[in-house]
A and B are shown apart, each in its own frame.
Chain A
Amino acid sequence: MNPILSIKNLQAHFHTRRGVVKAVNGISYDLFPGETLAVVGESGSGKSVSQLSYLRLLASPPLKIPGGQVFYRDKDLLKLSDAELRKIRGDKITMIFQEPMTSLNPYLTVGAQLIEPLVIHRKKAKSEAWQAATAALERVGISNASNAMKAYPHEFSGGMRQRVMIAMALTTEPEVLIADEPTTALDVTVQAQILDLLKSIQKENKMALLLITHDLGVVANIAHKVVVMYAGRVFEKGSVDDIFYRSEHPYTQALLKSTPRVDRDDKILPAISGNTPDLIQIGSGCPFYERCSYRTDLCQAEFPQVRLGLKGHERYCHVEKVSS
């Protein structure tokens, strides 16, 4: 099977007065149809920027993409004109964001915003689009959808607004849905509802879901495959079980151990010492070098080549064997 989205050696840098912020430093991964891929990392890992950069949702300048390719089917998205990209973005590839409070237009009714993708991308008549959008709202679990279409965003709670956002991203039946921290701003009981909704929609539509998150619990709940990022680099890729039970990267392991869990009775949390590195001063070595308990001189000098494990489990680490 061919990937629906393939990121190859993508770089994204911000040119600021302080210097060049190297937010993404050559990352590669594939997204296949019908799978949920979680990109997990802490703030500053580049997990969001990498998506926003090739979708041209960031101001350029300061953003520059000095290298890489991003294939949607056989098209390199980085080589398309703005007009060509616009035909794909919002139609074949759609996105939902973290803040359902700020990603809807407060001046327009929910309906007016929901029909836009269909009117623009599918050239549907407004009445026809209205019907389709009402159906989409019903599908995401909004009761009384025809009234909801006429309401304004402020009339909805956070969870409901996120449902509206999801409905909006689904009206064109995209092949790829990118969800950037879709439940981070929501309460846990609402988060559980939204995760269930995303899971059932992903299954039903057989679309590819790329989920950006920092929450390992969410990853365990929803993902089939996982990409672990840190300071603009991919550290490890694999199936969700590879990452949670057979991780061979010191950072992934440390991250899993330092996360408090409701089902555990930790006496002391094994914390990762130090702080995330400054992305301006980042060199050619492994960015986790200073915080890593396995570090060698080689780690400081160069970023490791990929080490292949079983069934597509990949890690980027110089260390031969990492005990778990």
Chain B
Amino acid sequence: MNSQIPSVLKVRDLKVHYALRKSLFAWGSTPTLKAVQGVSLDLAPGEVLGLVGESGCGKSSLGRALMRLQEPSGGTIEILGKDFLSMRGKELRLFRRNIQMVFQDPYASLNPRMTVSETLAEPLKAHFRLSYAESQTRIVKLLDQVGLSKGSLKKYPHEFSGGQRQRIAIARALILEPKILVADEPVSSLDVSVQAQILNLLKEIQKSLGLSMIFISHNLAVVKYISDRISVMYLGGIVETADRKSLYEKPLHPYTQALVSAVPIADPKIERERKRIVLTGELPSAENPPQGCAFHTRCPWVVPQCLQEKPELLKTPSSTHPVACFEAGKSH
């Protein structure tokens, strides 16, 4: 990424901890689940950053923390050069139009009692003083952009299929003309044939509006298709960040290598010849994460240093892109 351009989103050492319920008779402090443990990232204008990882890696917690849907436990978030976490009250409410979200399940994220027109008019009412005609013009224009007809305005969510609902959810996120869009698994509940439509729509809109986007998914193929850069998460931290090409062609972190090799490819000849890196063991608990490198319990390259120190996400002389591993780039 070009360091000359100021980033629209700057996250430093972000932490998201959830307090767990303490047993009635337990001594000591309340146990916490450390979902995100010190994540730093930058998002350039017009850039799509993919966040990929398996369940429990903290990718969704990170996404929700960026929206302040979950208050972070530590760290800083700067949006458009402003300190987002110190904002309160009216200032926060008005500023939020700059960062909007699309959720995974379009069956749960739309209000079943509101028509499409009402759903899309509500954010406008909260943020602008527009006449009915003005807001309708905006809504119809946007609906057209997401591929829905004017006839959808008076319909309720249940009258639409999953893919169409996701179009409505995207329109709702875009109606305030945000600078940043956070999309959390936006195509995971859709069928393959519909998934491609929504991915193309997101890509097209992102390009034409020059949006910056954080795209969260467990699906490595989907993330590759839509992202410029990709960060791989494991147990609350980013282990590697690379442009979309390098990540799949030259993954440096042993976890990324295992992850990429595990994705089945829809080509039988390739599948017959592929060698898989099989990870042993289970994902450690985020309540009690391992000391040192979080991946050391399953890592094929583990050295004594990994048990003591936590590797930072750094670009080293031997690596082409930032990776959090002491052993990356050495021969194994």
Could you say which of B54, B164, B191 contacts A189, with CB atoms under 8 Å apart? B54
* Complex Cα spacing A26 to B55, Å: 39
Are A221 and B192 in contact, CB atoms less than 8 angstroms apart? Answer: no
* Complex Cα spacing A240 to B283, Å: 34
* Complex Cα spacing A52 to B269, Å: 32
Chain B interface: which of A62-70, A72-80, A117-125, A269-277?
A269-277
Q: Mark B272-294, 1 if CB is under 8 A from A, else 0.
A: 00001011001100000000000
DSSP majority for the B interface? helix
Are A42 and B192 in contact, CB atoms less than 8 angstroms apart? Answer: yes
Q: In the assembled complex, how far is the CB of residue A182 from the closest CB belonging to chain B, in whole angstroms?
A: 13
Known contacts A192-B278, A262-B221, A269-B196; decide if A42 and B191 are in contact (CB<8 Å): yes
Q: In the assembled complex, how far is the CB of residue B262 from the closest CB belonging to chain A, in whole angstroms?
A: 4
Are B265 and A261 in contact, CB atoms less than 8 angstroms apart? Answer: yes
Q: Is B82 an interface residue (CB 8 A)?
A: no
Are B268 and A244 in contact, CB atoms less than 8 angstroms apart? Answer: yes
Q: In the assembled complex, how far is the CB of residue A23 from the closest CB belonging to chain B, in whole angstroms?
A: 16
Q: Is B18 an interface residue (CB 8 A)?
A: no
Q: Is B156 an interface residue (CB 8 A)?
A: no
The residues of A that contact B192 with a CB separation of less than 8 Å are: 42, 214, 216, 255, 258-259
Q: Is A193 an interface residue (CB 8 A)?
A: yes
Q: Mark A185-204, 1 if CB is under 8 A from B, else 0.
A: 00111011101100000000
CB under 8 Å from chain A, chain B span 218-234: 218-222, 224-225
Could you say which of B218, B220, B264, B278 contacts A221, with CB atoms under 8 Å apart? B264
Are A260 and B265 in contact, CB atoms less than 8 angstroms apart? Answer: no
Q: Mark A243-260, 1 if CB is under 8 A from B, else 0.
A: 011000000001110111
* Complex Cα spacing A212 to B282, Å: 26
Known contacts A268-B200, A269-B196; decide if A216 and B266 are in contact (CB<8 Å): yes
* Complex Cα spacing A192 to B262, Å: 6
Q: In the assembled complex, how far is the CB of residue A312 from the closest CB belonging to chain B, in whole angstroms?
A: 16
A: number of interface residues (CB 8 Å): 46
* Complex Cα spacing A216 to B221, Å: 12
Are A220 and B264 in contact, CB atoms less than 8 angstroms apart? Answer: yes
Are A189 and B265 in contact, CB atoms less than 8 angstroms apart? Answer: no
Q: In the assembled complex, how far is the CB of residue A279 from the closest CB belonging to chain B, in whole angstroms?
A: 13
Q: Mark A267-291, 1 if CB is under 8 A from B, else 0.
A: 0111111011000000000000001
Q: Which interface class (under 10, 10 to 19, 20 to 34, 35 or more) fits B? A: 35 or more
Q: In the assembled complex, how far is the CB of residue B235 from the closest CB belonging to chain A, in whole angstroms?
A: 13
CB under 8 Å from chain A, chain B span 223-260: 224-225, 245, 248, 258-260
Could you say which of B193, B248, B262, B266 contacts A188, with CB atoms under 8 Å apart? B262
Could you say which of B221, B266, B278 contacts A219, with CB atoms under 8 Å apart? B266
Q: In the assembled complex, how far is the CB of residue B202 from the closest CB belonging to chain A, in whole angstroms?
A: 11
The residues of B that contact A260 with a CB separation of less than 8 Å are: 196, 199, 219, 221-222, 224-225
* Complex Cα spacing A137 to B58, Å: 32
Are B266 and A217 in contact, CB atoms less than 8 angstroms apart? Answer: yes
Are A255 and B265 in contact, CB atoms less than 8 angstroms apart? Answer: no
The residues of B that contact A272 with a CB separation of less than 8 Å are: 193-194, 196-197
Could you say which of B258, B259, B262, B266 contacts A259, with CB atoms under 8 Å apart? B266
Q: Is A135 an interface residue (CB 8 A)?
A: no
Q: Which residue of A lies closest to B204 (CB)?
A: A268
The residues of A that contact B225 with a CB separation of less than 8 Å are: 260, 266, 269
CB under 8 Å from chain B, chain A span 140-175: 157, 159-160
Are B282 and A42 in contact, CB atoms less than 8 angstroms apart? Answer: no
Q: In the assembled complex, how far is the CB of residue B298 from the closest CB belonging to chain A, in whole angstroms?
A: 9
Q: Which residue of B lies closest to A257 (CB)?
A: B196
Could you say which of A157, A218, A221, A271 contacts B197, with CB atoms under 8 Å apart? A271
Known contacts A188-B259, A189-B279; decide if A262 and B197 are in contact (CB<8 Å): no
Interface residue ranges, B against A (CB under 8 Å): 54-55, 161, 163-164, 191-197, 199-200, 203, 218-222, 224-225, 245, 248, 258-271, 276, 278-279, 282-283
Question: Could you give 19 example pairs across A and B, Cβ below 8 Å?
Answer: A43-B191, A188-B54, A188-B259, A189-B279, A191-B262, A192-B278, A214-B192, A217-B263, A217-B266, A220-B265, A240-B268, A245-B268, A255-B192, A261-B265, A262-B221, A262-B224, A263-B248, A269-B196, A276-B193
- Nearest 5 pairs of A and B residues by beta carbon: A217-B264, A271-B196, A216-B266, A187-B54, A258-B196
Q: A192-B264, A244-B267, A260-B225 are in contact. List 17 more A-B contacts (CB 8 A).
A: A157-B283, A188-B220, A189-B258, A192-B278, A196-B276, A217-B271, A219-B266, A223-B268, A244-B266, A258-B192, A258-B193, A258-B195, A260-B196, A263-B267, A263-B270, A269-B225, A275-B164
